[in-house]
Structure 1
């Protein structure tokens, strides 16, 4: 995993980016297709394994066209952070100008690194800062209740990667990140160009792009995103058996899994014992207070539903009139 240093120093000017394609008249689907031609700035953190929301494996599936009908965020879904991020971006940009006095303007193009060796490095810039000597790029962000925790110590590493990628592609020296926290707090962070970090970022991004070019999936990383990608990539089993008995690495992996599951099981039993000890002492109390915290033990509200078994006994024809087939999924079972 890449370590992101926050202390940076400005560097000398670089060549400006190429304008790969104008985006004013592009549909969202066309824009997504253009993004498959390289690693965009919002892909950078994922490509190097630092994005908490997406794994390199899922990004690889996207870049190689294997994501198909895989569930994606709907840009029109009003419950999606993506929807509110897009909707609030102009407001965040306007407030940045109000707070700093820096004028900004949109860049309606997908940018490309000017060096042919790095032609796979693309970037979309939220706003260009106009007329300021000390900063040239504005990146607008929004963070809800869940995402806000990632901003407690400043700019998250995956966003640092995104901005340094933008600075690498554009040749600029500094960017401001303006984030709206929980809809009521604006924070502005300055990120200076760090050529040492950029060199490392390019090295790791190139490794990921080789996976794309060679059509080789990158290693899974244990995330929910990787689990989702693997289940979509291999939805059905072929019924055959594969023998890893002579594969020492895979046999060691299996042994580690068995030992870890046993350890988890033992810890879960201990957790239950400790929890029950507290519950027993609480009796019918709702809350218990301790030196370092508290627990609550309250009855939830009654829920209401339909007793399907009783309903089908009374009206058995309903099962034939309203059939529902749920597609099966692969189950991972361990035997020793």
Structure 2
């Protein structure tokens, strides 16, 4: 950690209710900033900590906070095909347009903020709204074509949790969320401080932080994120046979898993039968219309592919020259 780290000092702003500025981020490197984030739950971590983030599970977040996340794929902030890249690039644009539309002035807050009573609660806010009695924080968001679907009914739950976490840490009364949808439509939503929700959020986040403090993995939640986290946490088997036959809870989970898999197999067969019945009726036609919708059955364009088997048969030395080692992974089989 470099010299930018400082002892927590209460802010002079009377509206901050004792909010602390933990570390200045003005000249902080990304590596050091990530290190600071591991000391607590940041606003962007909050929804994952309580199981409401559609992209990250509590288990994956736990790996990050306990320095076990080296094997997890990380977003590349320099990759201009990644949403995180455009989120960073367009944040000043969203903030500027917000000022133009609302007349509110905003400024950056170059610090990691800390809750005075709960030091594990941290926050970075995109902008502070200046001179407004109605709103004090601006959160800037961007959403592409696919991500915009999550905003159809207003602010998604995981963003609402993030903002409520910011209000809890700063003591502020309200925040605006400005989101750029599809690169051309700006929407602004107001989120007011809710003391009941904040108290519940603190309780749930504290439960997660106990997992970190006790070095205990939180329960997996069935998400792809949790699956990847488990594979990273337990990448290899040790050959030991564990007997759970006397454990009623795990034995019940095993029985239910077999029943679910059987039901899925039956549903898969049923799906195939129904699909094929419609395909037989359609024959060569492209589209079929029904009382409640439609289906299409179109031929994809022809494509050109590399015949790898033929290539290696003609040039077998290429296999040795260009072969790579691929690490094995554990397979979960039910018998």
Q: For this structure pair, what is the TM-score category when the shorter chain's length is used for normalisation?
A: over 0.9
Aligned to 1:209: 209
2:51 maps to which of 42, 49, 71:
49
Structure 2 stretches of 5 or more lacking a match?
Answer: 1-14
Which residue is equivalent to 2:90? Answer: 88
Aligned length in residues: 321
**Is the partner of 2:44 in helix, strand or coil?**
helix
Q: TM-score, normalised by structure 2?
A: 0.94
Query: What's the counterpart of residue 273 of structure 1?
Result: 273
> Is 2:253 the counterpart of 1:228?
no
User: Offset at 1:14?
Assistant: 5.9
Between the aligned partners of 2:220 and 2:71, the Cα distance in structure 1 is 20
Q: 1:69: how far off?
A: 3.1
Aligned to 2:313: 313
TM-score (norm 1): 0.94
Aligned-residue offset at 1:24: 1.0
**Are 2:66 and 1:64 aligned?**
yes
In structure 2, distance between residues paired with 1:323 and 1:266:
40
Counterpart position of 1:5:
none
Q: How far apart are the structure 2 equivalents of 1:147 and 1:312?
A: 42
Map of 1:153 onto structure 2: 153
Q: What's 1:140 paired with?
A: 140
- In the alignment, what sits opposite 2:77? 75
C-alpha distance in 2 between matches for 1:282 and 1:317: 49
- After TM superposition, which residue ranges in structure 1, 4 or more long, deviate above 2 angstroms? none
Q: Give the structure 2 partner of residue 7 of structure 1.
A: none
SS in structure 1 at match of 2:186: strand
Distance of 1:325 and 1:315 partners within structure 2: 20
Contact 2:139-2:176 at 8 Å conserved across structures = yes
Match of 2:21 in 1: 19
Are residues 1:127 and 2:133 paired? no
Cα distance in 2 for residues equivalent to 1:34 and 1:183: 32
CA RMSD of aligned residues (A): 1.0
Whether the 8 Å CA contact 2:71–2:232 is kept in 1: the answer is no
After TM superposition, the structure 1 = structure 2 runs for residues 171-190 of structure 1, keeping only pairs within 5 Å, are: 171-190=171-190
